[in-house]
Amino acid sequence: MPCEKLELLGGGAHGIVFLTQYYNPPTFSVPMKLAVKSSKDEFSGSIWGEGQILRKLQRCPYIIHCLGEDTSVEHGNTMYNLLLEYAPGGTLKRWMNSRERLIPEEEASLYAYQLLKGILEVHRLGIVHCDLKPNNILLFPCRYGCSLNQLKIGDFRLSKVTGEGGHRGTLLYTSPESLFCDMHEAPKDIWAIGCMVAEMMTGESPWKFCNTNGDDKLAQGMAFKQPQISTGISDHAKDFLMKCFEKNPNVRWTADKLLNHPFVANTDNPLLCQRWEDRQGLGNRPLGTGEWISSIDLFSTPISS
Q: What distances in angstroms separate CA 187 from CA 107, 193, 256, 294, one per listed residue?
A: 24, 10, 12, 35
CB distance 104 to 148 below 8 Å? no
Cα torsion 299, 138, 68, 50 to 10°: value is 110
- Please enumerate in sequence order all residues whose Cβ is within 8 A of that of 64, keeping only pairs 6 or more positions apart, or say none: 54, 84, 85, 87, 138, 152, 153, 154
CB distance 112 to 193 below 8 Å? yes
Strands 77-85 and 149-153: unpaired
- What is the DSSP code (8-state) at residue 178? H
Rg (CA), the chain: 20
Q: Is 260 exposed, middle or buried (0-12, 13-18, 19+ CB in 10 A)?
A: exposed
Residue 278 a catalytic site member? no
Catalytic residue among 41, 70, 131, 182: 131
CA angle 156, 94, 191 (to 5 degrees): 50
- End-to-end Cα spacing for the chain: 20
Map residue 124 onto helix, strand or coil: helix
- What is the DSSP code (8-state) at residue 164? S
Q: What DSSP assignment string belongs to 252-302?
A: SPPHHHHTTSHHHH-TTSTTTHHHHHHHTT-SPPPTT-S--EEEES-BSSP
Q: Which residues are catalytic?
A: 131
